[in-house]
C-alpha cells in the first residue's frame, strides 16, 4: 500500500474516532430555554435534540399536557433530523465527498 494513502487512511480513522467522541460529549450537554414566562420550557442536548419539553399552561388537563409535550418533542426532533439530512446531502453535493460519517453533526 502506498505510504501516503496509508497515512491518509490513518488520519481519516482518527478523525472518525474524534468525531464519535465529540458526539458523545455534545449529547451529554444540556441547554434549557424558556418562553412565555415559563409557560414552555425546552431542554436540548448539544446535538440539537429535544430531550424534554415542559408546558405550564393553565386550562389543559394533565393528560392533554403530557400528550402535547410528547408530540411536540417528536415533531421538533423529526424536523431537526430532516434539516440535518438536507444539509448533509447538500454538503456532500458541494464537496463531492460522502460525508455520512458526520451524521448528527450537520
Q: End-to-end distance of the chain based on CA atoms, in angstroms?
A: 33
Picking from 29, 53, 57, 58, the residue whose alpha carbon sits closest to that of residue 43 is 53
Sign of the CA dihedral running 66, 25, 14, 105: positive
Q: What is the Cβ-side half-sphere exposure of residue 97, based on CA atoms within 13 angstroms? A: 6
CATH architecture of 3-102: 2-Layer Sandwich (3.30)
What are the residue ranges spanned by the domains of the chain?
3-102
Please report, in tens digits, the pLDDT of each residue of the chain (106 residues total).
578 888 888 888 898 888 889 989 999 999 999 999 999 999 999 999 999 999 999 999 999 999 999 999 999 999 999 988 888 888 888 878 776 666 656 5
Where is 55: in which H helix or E strand? strand 50-55
Amino acid at each position: 500500500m502506498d505510504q501516503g494513502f496509508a497515512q491518509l487512511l490513518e488520519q481519516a480513522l482518527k478523525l472518525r474516532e474524534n468525531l464519535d467522541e465529540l458526539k458523545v460529549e455534545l449529547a451529554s450537554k444540556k441547554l434549557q430555554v424558556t418562553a412565555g414566562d415559563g409557560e414552555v420550557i425546552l431542554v436540548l442536548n448539544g446535538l440539537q435534540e429535544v430531550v424534554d419539553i415542559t408546558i405550564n399552561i393553565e386550562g389543559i388537563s394533565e393528560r392533554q399536557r403530557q400528550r402535547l409535550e410528547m408530540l411536540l418533542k417528536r415533531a421538533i426532533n423529526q424536523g431537526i433530523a430532516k434539516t440535518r439530512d438536507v444539509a448533509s446531502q447538500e454538503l456532500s453535493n458541494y464537496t463531492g465527498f460522502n460525508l455520512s460519517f458526520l451524521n448528527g453533526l450537520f
